[in-house]
């Protein structure tokens, strides 16, 4: 009787010894994402410190706090119901791929276009930030709706099309971008990369998590090679950012930027779908490891966390992280989740990451981001049938082309093009073509690159499976999207190339896809004759 009563009132522990290791690993992942936000917002987007540390990071901190506490509570409830002490909370943090996608495919183009139209720097920055918030809100709404429709989405979208599209962004904007940076700083970059490879892929067991060791050694090498600026005045400036910064509702700014929703749906919708299905896969991974969480509530937490971030001024969606089985094997349970939320959320609200960014340069942790890019790219091949590998390879190309287009334009701007005296124009295309650089094709693939990758990969999946009617329908959808400018149609601004929406603006690409649809339809008819004959 006494034993039954004790069992009835049993409650799981909120913190165990293994949560320390789990927190070090998950906290490090989130730290790298925050450092990326700071580096990209400052160096790529040119955002002022007040916007980064006064609005974006506090909002990001609240989203991390909400999500991690919710997933910790969810794990505690499951453990209480099942009377089990080995339940591990779902890992949660900032979505790496969305971070890069929204910076390079939404926020930067908005700023460059605004500057090209004569807007002053401060106004262009504000519009860029507002567009990022709209994108983040859109992603959160899709994730929330996806909590009720995830099963339908999964059946409708070929896995190869989804994963290949994601892998194209990961290879270009994440993996290749940081590989170039690794070889630009080889002493730090290659050493840290080696540590990440032997601990993550070689599964070498060490007293501390491999990622943490890589960052510690990377920081030491950065100090010894002069990568860290030892200027006391700069440190003092970063220390001045420290102080409680509470976020505010940014509903007015979101409403003001509502016109930025339609032009960027080609990025927002696919990224939202990726977040839904990626989170769903990670929930299934947790179930395979023994922790069966409710899919709907898990996805709702993710969506609400992202919408909270957008509503308070962040541009960066959150997601359920891959790797739940690894945290579980490490001994992490519930405490690593709520501890991560409290520590990372508090640090964002207190503005300490400016000083941290000076002490921990991105070079010290960029191998971890490179590893993430490799994992995403490899998964596209590993998690799809081997016969669909050609479709995955085809789906990679638009993302790589988009990344290449951004490099071409950055090079042109560095060479003086894009100024008032020499705005971007069609003459540049001729000069590049003479050097066998087909920039017009790169610019066409850049616009709507995520949708293009999905459509091309899906087409080839259907062709491989000899579902020629499905391939023809997919080609027709691509033709319709091209005709109205959702994909491919582009125009020059003074300093950039941007999507051009309108009836018939992409007629040449629309005709090309329409002819592809005809070819697939004829192939299907021929196949039927062969079968019936």
Residue 470 tokens, joined: 């499905």
pTM over 0.85, yes/no = no
Measured over the CA atoms of residue 397, residue 129, residue 36 and residue 329, the dihedral's sign is: negative
Considering only CA atoms, which of 519, 239, 515, 446 is closest in space to residue 351? Answer: 239
Ranges under pLDDT 50 in the chain: 1-3, 5-6
pLDDT attached to residue 10: 62
Phi/psi at 491 (5° precision): -145, 160
> 309, 317 in Cβ contact below 8 A?
yes
DSSP 67: H
- pLDDT score recorded for residue 347: 95
- Tokens 């919408």 correspond to 307
HSE (side-chain half, CA atoms, 13 Å) at 405: 30
CB of 396 closer than 8 Å to CB of 453:
yes
Euclidean distance between CA atoms 128 and 117, whole angstroms: 14
Query: How many whole angstroms separate alpha carbon 276 and alpha carbon 392?
Result: 20
Nearest-CA neighbor of 479 among 455, 458, 461? 455
d(Cα 489, Cα 178) in Å, to the nearest integer? Answer: 29
> What CA–CA distance (Å, rounded) separates 232 from 234?
5
- pLDDT, residue 230, reads 67
Q: Which residues of 310-335 are buried (b: 16+ CB within 10 A; e: fewer)?
A: bbbbbbbbbbbbbbbbbbbebbbbbb
For β-strands 490-492 and 497-499, DSSP reports them as: antiparallel
**Please, is 105 exposed, middle or buried when counting C-beta atoms within 10 Å of its C-beta (0-12, 13-18, 19+)?**
buried
Residue 532: count other Cβ atoms within 10 Å of its Cβ.
6
Q: Residue 355 and residue 512: Cα distance in Å, rounded? A: 53
Count other Cβ atoms within 10 Å, centred on residue 223.
15
The count of other CB atoms within 10 Å of the CB of residue 405 is 23
In angstroms, the CA 115 to CA 354 distance is 27
Question: What pLDDT score does 408 carry?
Answer: 94
- Residue 5: predicted pLDDT: 44
């Amino acid at each position: 009787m006494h034993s039954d009563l004790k069992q009835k009132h049993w409650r799981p522990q909120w913190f165990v010894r293994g949560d320390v290791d789990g927190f070090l690993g998950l906290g490090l992942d989130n730290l790298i994402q925050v450092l990326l936000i700071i580096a990209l917002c400052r160096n790529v987007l040119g955002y002022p410190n007040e916007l980064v540390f006064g609005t974006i990071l506090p909002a990001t901190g609240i989203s991390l706090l909400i999500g991690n506490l919710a997933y910790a509570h969810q794990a505690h409830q499951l453990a209480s119901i099942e009377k089990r002490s080995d339940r591990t909370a779902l890992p949660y943090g900032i979505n790496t791929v969305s971070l890069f996608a929204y910076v390079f495919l939404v926020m930067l183009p908005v700023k460059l276009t605004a500057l090209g139209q004569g807007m002053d720097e401060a106004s262009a920055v504000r519009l860029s930030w507002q567009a990022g918030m709209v994108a983040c809100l859109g992603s959160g709404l899709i994730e929330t709706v996806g909590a009720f429709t995830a099963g339908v989405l999964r059946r409708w979208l070929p896995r190869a099309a989804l994963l290949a599209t994601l892998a194209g962004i990961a290879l270009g904007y994440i993996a290749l971008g940081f590989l170039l940076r690794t070889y630009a700083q080889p002493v730090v970059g290659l050493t840290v990369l080696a540590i990440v490879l032997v601990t993550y892929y070689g599964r070498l067991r060490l007293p501390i998590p491999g990622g943490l060791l890589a960052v510690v050694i990377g920081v030491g090498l950065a100090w010894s090679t002069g990568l860290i600026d030892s200027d006391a005045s700069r440190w003092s400036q970063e220390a001045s950012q420290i102080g409680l910064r509470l976020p505010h509702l940014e509903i007015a700014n979101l409403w003001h930027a509502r016109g930025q929703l339609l032009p960027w749906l080609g990025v927002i919708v696919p990224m939202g779908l990726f977040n839904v299905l990626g989170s769903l896969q990670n929930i299934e991974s947790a179930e395979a490891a023994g922790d069966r969480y409710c899919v709907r509530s898990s996805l709702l937490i993710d969506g609400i966390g992202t919408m909270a971030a957008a509503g308070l001024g962040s541009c960066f969606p959150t997601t359920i992280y891959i790797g739940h089985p690894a945290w579980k094997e490490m001994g992490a349970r519930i405490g690593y989740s709520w501890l991560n939320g409290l520590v990372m959320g508090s640090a964002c609200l207190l503005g300490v990451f400016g000083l941290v960014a000076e002490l921990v340069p991105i070079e010290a942790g960029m191998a971890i981001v490179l590893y993430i890019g490799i994992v995403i790219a490899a998964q596209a091949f590993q998690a799809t049938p081997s016969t669909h590998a050609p479709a995955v390879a085809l789906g990679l190309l638009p993302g790589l082309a988009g990344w290449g287009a951004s490099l071409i334009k950055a090079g042109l701007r560095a060479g003086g093009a894009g100024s008032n005296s020499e705005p971007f124009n069609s003459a540049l295309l001729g000069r590049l073509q003479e050097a066998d650089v087909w920039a017009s094709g790169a610019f066409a693939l850049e616009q709507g690159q995520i949708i293009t990758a999905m459509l091309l990969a899906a087409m080839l999946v259907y062709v491989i499976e000899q579902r020629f009617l499905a391939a023809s329908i997919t080609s027709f959808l691509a033709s319709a999207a091209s005709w109205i400018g959702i994909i491919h149609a582009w125009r020059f601004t003074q300093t950039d190339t941007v999507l051009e929406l309108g009836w018939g603006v992409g007629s040449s690409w629309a005709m090309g896809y329409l002819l592809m649809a005809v070819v697939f339809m004829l192939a299907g008819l021929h196949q039927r004759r062969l079968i019936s004959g």
